[in-house]
Structure 1
Amino acid sequence: MQRIPFDLEAYAQRVQSNPCFICEVVAGTHRDGWHEVVAQTEDGIAFLSKYPTLLGHVLVAPKIHHENVVGDFSEDAFLRLMRLVHRVARAVEATVQVERTYLLSLGSQQGNSHVHWHISPLPPGVPYHQQQFHALMAENGVLPWTQEQANVLAGQLRAALAH
């Protein structure tokens, strides 16, 4: 997997000093347009990562700004969101080559506090020492990525979700 360097310090500064980017994606006011929405439900939204470390990296979040991954949800609300995670992960697996799909919730009260889950598809053939956390860490670089590529992949994911 060819990767390009990622400026983690600039990213941290941006997410710690700007409004919640997930709330902006939900509202349709996100400034750069990079986060292509691939699915929505009444409660949740799924969109491509602007800084993917793996091709097909999608984020799924509740539309309401929640910060506690378990405590801010009733069991029913949590399970509705997990159904969206499952549907989107299946679409990702139908769209890109996958050896293993990683699902995890990341974020921090210090930045990216809006609860969200990452769907990160590990392609076949990645050496073991470059899998798992190594494959997910932007510190190890991000994929070269254009808006046009994001548009194409988002369309493929939307088509897979329609089936």
Structure 2
Amino acid sequence: MSDPDCVFCRIVKGEQPAHLVLEEPGALAFLDTRPLFKGHVLLVPREHHETLPDLPPEQVGPLFLHARRLAAAMEGTLGAAGSFVAMNNRVSQSVPHLHVHVVPRNRKDGLRGFFWPRHRYDSDAEAADYAARLREALGGA
């Protein structure tokens, strides 16, 4: 399953050049062309799925095992102090093909956490309401 208009699908098929980092039956990782830091990798499933909720459940674990391996390589191979592992779903997703960013990090590297404003709950009761609504949606009590 692929989308001919998707740049990541074209990379998976070998139709678009990329600096490949990891090639596995269900996933591919390559360097981001606009990296936050050198070594910034994008990990994608080989099949075209737009968001994490679209990814079949049996593919979630294997994909994140690859993300785990990449995060370890950031430290072991690139000498990074750690890594930043993230993904966007629709909002701020520059390519509508599920991708996990694995970015090498070092202290005082200039990246300041999240770039968006934080919003506090108005009260503990409001926080409890949000938690309860999400818990209910997930089938909890």
- Once the two structures are superposed, what CA deviation does each residue of 1:17-64 show, in whole Å capped at 9, x if it has no partner? x9211101101011xx3x211111111001111111112100001000
Please tell me whether residue 28 in structure 1 is matched to residue 14 in structure 2. yes
Higher RCO (CA 8 Å, separation ≥ 6 residues): 1
1:70 aligned residue (47, 53, 71): 53
Q: Contact 1:107/1:116 (CA < 8 Å) preserved in 2? A: no
Radius of gyration: which is bigger?
Answer: 2
Which has a greater percent of helix? 1
8 Å CA contact 1:44–1:61 kept in 2: the answer is: yes
Q: Is the 8 A contact 1:103 1:119 kept in 2?
A: yes
Instruction: Provide the alpha-carbon RMSD of the alignment.
Output: 2.2
Letter in 2 for 1:123: N
Structure 2: 5+ residue runs without aligned partners?
116-141
Change beyond 3 A, Cα 1:119–1:42: same
Q: Any idea what the Cα deviations from partners look like across 1:54-78, whole Å, max 9, x if unmatched?
A: 121000010000012034321x310
Query: Paired residue for 2:80?
Result: 98
Corresponding residue number in structure 1 for 2:90? 108
Q: What is the distance in 1 between the residues matched to 2:44 and 2:21?
A: 12
Does 1:58 find its partner at 2:44? no
Q: How many residues are paired up?
A: 111
1:49 to 1:111, Cα distance in 2 relative to 1, 3 A: closer
How much identity, in percent, do the aligned residues show? 26
TM-score (norm 2): 0.69
The one-letter code sitting in structure 1 at the alignment partner of 2:102 is: I
The answer to whether the Cα contact below 8 Å between 2:51 and 2:90 also exists between their aligned partners in 1 is no
TM-score, normalised by the number of residues in structure 1: 0.61
